[in-house]
Amino acid sequence: MSVKIKDASVPVIPFKARLSRWFGRNLLRIYMVFGFTYLFIPVAYTFAFSFNDSGKSNLVWKGFTFRNWQNPCGAPEVCTALGNSIKIGFLATLFSTILGTLIAFAIGRYKFKGRSTSNLLIFLPMATPEIVLGASLLSLFLVFKINPGFWPTVIAHVMFCISFVVVTVKARIASLDPRLEQAAMDLYANEIETFRRVTLPLVAPGIAGAALLAFSLSFDDFIITNFNSGTLITFPKFVYVSAARGIPAQANVIGSAMFFLALAIVVAGQLVNRKKSR
Amino acid sequence: MGKGVSAGTRQLVSIEPIEARGDLRLTRITKSYGDFKAVDDLTLTIPKGSFFALLGPSGCGKTTTLRMVAGLEEPTVGSIHLGETDITTTRAYQRPINTVFQNYALFPHLTIFENIAFGLRRRGIKDVNEQVAKVLSLVELPHLADRKPTQLSGGQQQRIALARAIVNRPALLLLDEPLGALDLKLRRQMQIELKWIQREVGLTFVHVTHDQEEAMTMADTIAVMSEGKIEQMGSPADLYDNPQTTFVANFLGQSNLIKGRIDGGDGDNLVVDLFGQKIAMPKSRSHAIDNSLYAGIRPEKFRISRVGSPVRGNTLTGGRVEDVSYIGVSTQYVVAMPWGQELMIFEQNDDGVPPFDKDEEVVISWEPGFTFGLRGDEDIEAGTEVEPEEQAE
């Protein structure tokens, strides 16, 4: 802290000029506050209403309580739905991250016939409307006489997550200096060791980011899931179905918890990164 | 730390699977990319223990040559031998050769210690700690072992890259424009240091650079490359005093090349006609293949004098001072000759004679023995149009 000393000889700047200067300096900050307010009001609302002492419907504030947080599985089926979503999310993340990373390396590192075509096609699932993907996947499953349910949903999720994984990991690979791998080879590391000790550790943050992205995409997917999951209830489906009758406060509890979990992961990641680069 | 280990008595660590040591021999190497020949029928021997420089402008094939020696590229035609062992097709990690990369290529996720230990660990060397500590003290940065590369300055990174390579005691150390990213002052300091380290560790250094001054400062032998071929190879003094092509004459320092005809000779000397004025030069210093030649004289070999004052050696008259630049240690003159050419003259400021004025009529003279003769059918501009600061690749 510095001590401010008033100096009488300093000319006084008129109030109007000072005000406009203050605005000039802080315009970006003001804009930022508005921007974040806009983004976080729904989250704040969800969080606040997770403490609502609601009856059946959670639309009107009726009083503060911790009961919902103490008993998040209180509403019927909410935790079954959550469990399904986590299982599907985990499997979809696992498969799409492995497959997507391999594709990203192939496209990012090697020249082969059809490379630019693959590069283009990988974007298609991202660009196609989900409703089209969901409907066509369902008819495809039915043609092969596969009943909608858990595994078809996993397969569907892997399919659309792969694109995002490829794009994310590829960006990381593109930023990787090929000379680092050459340096490893030059220093007596064979291909496998080079991959394990240099390439993979350097691409790992990209892969981790891709996995997080895949999980969050899978976790909150509704449209494709709705087509392919049959009678299986996932968390987004649960919320959608209960919206007609009134969403239980437990859904807010789970939604808020997911938000804070994601926030914690991001903050932890940032801290680790900062520590590493120091 | 172990006792009784000194650098001098230390045995060379074994490198598997190749244990070759000796001269590096490139035999008729060609590297083509489609129709383009990056390296064109190159034959070269680099003696063991020497400090060898491959010098040339960007795109001359010097980096490609280095990468083939490192094992990062395979030659299209030709063979590479290290000692008696053919290493043409062996993988980079099997060769007892290490590289200091341009921009260093230090592993950003590893500490300085682990960066240096990388090669030792891959080869299963036991006393990693000791060897890393020793090489860190050789480059005078032992306190940085636990840092990450991004926390180091450019000069420090450069030394770590060097340490990471020499800790392996390779048969051959390749340096790819290692000082290119450093500022001028640091570069000068590192040039001296590199040379000292080379003598200290006794390894063969092959240094690729586009900076002629850097090559001349450090190397015992320089090979000047242009368009995938070696133009000339020799000691720095050799190349400077007796260039064999216009490219070398222009790329290494500055040259005045004057078009002429060989007009007879006597014994060891040639008489050359330069636009009607006769000069003499040693026959042995002419590389002309017929009567047509360029007489080459370095700017500092010229003497400049007033008309009428006594002169020795070869003389050229009719010059007029076009431009004078006083730069302290010397004065640089541009003198316009009657045939329209402008000659560059560097005159030491050691004789108390006041500088010549612009437009003053002068006589140029020099010792005949300093003249070199180049083929008259070569491009007089070769080697001048290259941008020396441009980076390879």
pLDDT band at B275 (very low <50, low <70, confident <90, very high): very high
Nearest CA in chain B to A179: B105
Among chain A residues, CA nearest to B68: A186
List the single residue in B with minimal CA-CA distance to A275: B148
Cβ separation of A185 and B99 shorter than 8 Å? no
Whether A183 sits inside 8 A of B123 (CB atoms) is no
Least Cα separation, residue A262 to chain B (angstroms): 25
Give the residue extent of every domain in chain A: 15-69, 76-247
Chain B residues inside the 8 Å CB shell of A199: none
Question: Under a CB-based contact definition with an 8 Å cutoff, are residues B200 and B138 in contact?
Answer: yes
CB contact under 8 A, B72 and A185: yes
Task: Report the residue of chain B nearest A198, measured CA to CA.
Answer: B107
Which band of pLDDT confidence, cut at 50, 70 and 90, is reported for residue B3? very low
The pLDDT value given to residue A277: 58
Nearest residue, CB atoms, A188 vs list B72, B93, B103: B93
Give the 3-state secondary structure of chain A. Answer: CCCCCCCCCCCCCCHHHHHHHHHHHHHHHHHHHHHHHHHHHHHHHHHHHCCECCCCCCCCCCCECCHHHHCCCCCCCHHHHHHHHHHHHHHHHHHHHHHHHHHHHHHHHCCCCCHHHHHHHCCHHHHCCHHHHHHHHHHHHHHCCCCCCHHHHHHHHHHHHHHHHHHHHHHHHHCCCHHHHHHHHHCCCCHHHHHHHHHHHHHHHHHHHHHHHHHHHHHCCCHHHHHHCCCCCCHHHHHHHHHCCCCCHHHHHHHHHHHHHHHHHHHHHHHHHHHHHC
* Residues of chain A contacting B14 with CB distance shorter than 8 Å: none
- Find chain B residues with C-beta within 8 A of A178's C-beta: none
Complete domains list, chain B, with CATH: 24-238 (3.40.50.300), 254-375 (2.40.50.140)
Residue A104 near residue A200, CB atoms below 8 Å:
no
In chain B, which residues touch A (CB < 8 A)?
Answer: 15, 70-72, 91-93, 97-99, 101-103, 105-109, 118-119, 122-123, 148, 150-151, 164-165, 168
Rounded average pLDDT over B191-211? 87
Cβ neighbours of A183 in B, within 8 Å: 99, 101, 105-107
Distance from CA of B213 to the nearest CA of A (A): 27
Chain B: residue whose CA lies nearest to A205: B109
Region B154-178: mean pLDDT is: 90
Chain A residues in contact with B172 by the CB 8 A cut-off are none
Tell me which chain A residues have a C-beta less than 8 angstroms from the C-beta of B92.
Answer: 182, 185-186
3-class DSSP state of B254: coil
Picking from A68-77, B6-15, B205-214, B275-284, which range would have the lowest pLDDT averaged per residue?
A: B6-15
* DSSP per-residue string spanning B352-381: -PPPPPTT-EEEEEE-GGG-EEEETTS-TT
Q: Which two tokens stand for residue A263?
A: 């926030």
Residues 6+ apart with CB under 8 A from A239: A247, A251
For B177, left (φ over 0), alpha (ψ -120 to 50), or beta? left
Other beta carbons within 10 Å of A206 = 21
Neighbours of B393 (CB within 10 A): 9
Q: Do A277 and B150 touch (CB under 8 A)?
A: yes
Verify whether the Cβ–Cβ distance B107 to A180 is below 8 Å: yes
What is the C-alpha R_g of chain B?
Answer: 25
Are the C-beta atoms of A89 and A240 separated by less than 8 Å?
no
Q: Do A187 and B109 touch (CB under 8 A)?
A: no
Task: Answer yes or no: CATH 3.30.1490.100 is held by domain A76-247.
Answer: no
CB pair distance less than 8 Å for B107 and A177: no
Average pLDDT value over all residues in chain B: 87
- Is residue B309 very low, low, confident or very high in pLDDT (cuts 50, 70, 90)? confident
* CB-nearest partner of A186 from B92, B102, B108: B92
Residue B14's pLDDT is what? Answer: 34
Pick from B64, B91, B93 the residue to mutate for testing the A interface (most A CBs within 10 Å). Answer: B93
Residue where the block lists tokens 């103490």? A70
Asked if the bond preceding A248 is cis, omega within 30° of 0, the reply is no
Whether the per-residue pLDDT at B6 is higher than 70: the answer is no
- The model's pLDDT over B107-127, given as tens digits with 9 standing for 90+, comes to 999 999 999 999 999 998 889
Residues of B in contact with A198 (CB under 8 A): 107
Which residues of chain A, if any, have pLDDT below 50?
1
CB–CB contact A186 B97 (8 Å): yes
The count of CB pairs under 8 A between chains A and B is 68
Taking contacts as CB-CB distances below 8 angstroms, the residues of chain B near A278 are 148, 151
Closest residue of chain A to B70, computed from CA coordinates: A186
In this complex, do A278 and B99 lie within 8 Å of one another by their Cβ atoms? Answer: no
How much is the pLDDT for A276? 64
Instruction: Give chain A positions within 8 Å (CB) of B148.
Output: 276-278
B92 CA to chain A: closest CA distance, Å? Answer: 5
Q: Quote the percentage of chain B above a pLDDT of 70.
A: 93
Provide the terminal-to-terminal Cα distance of chain A, rounded to the nearest Å: 26
Confidence of residue B253 (pLDDT cuts 50, 70, 90): confident
For the question of an ipTM over 0.90, the answer is no
Distance CA B337, CA B318 (A): 6
Please answer yes or no on whether A182 and B92 come within 8 Å at the CB atom. Answer: yes
* Nearest residue in chain B measured CA to CA from A182: B72
Q: What is the pLDDT of residues B310-367, one digit of tens each?
A: 888 999 999 999 999 988 888 999 999 999 999 999 998 877 777 788 899 999 999 9
Task: Closest CB to B101: pick one of A179, A190, A193.
Answer: A179
So what's the pLDDT on residue B190? 83
pLDDT at A278: 53
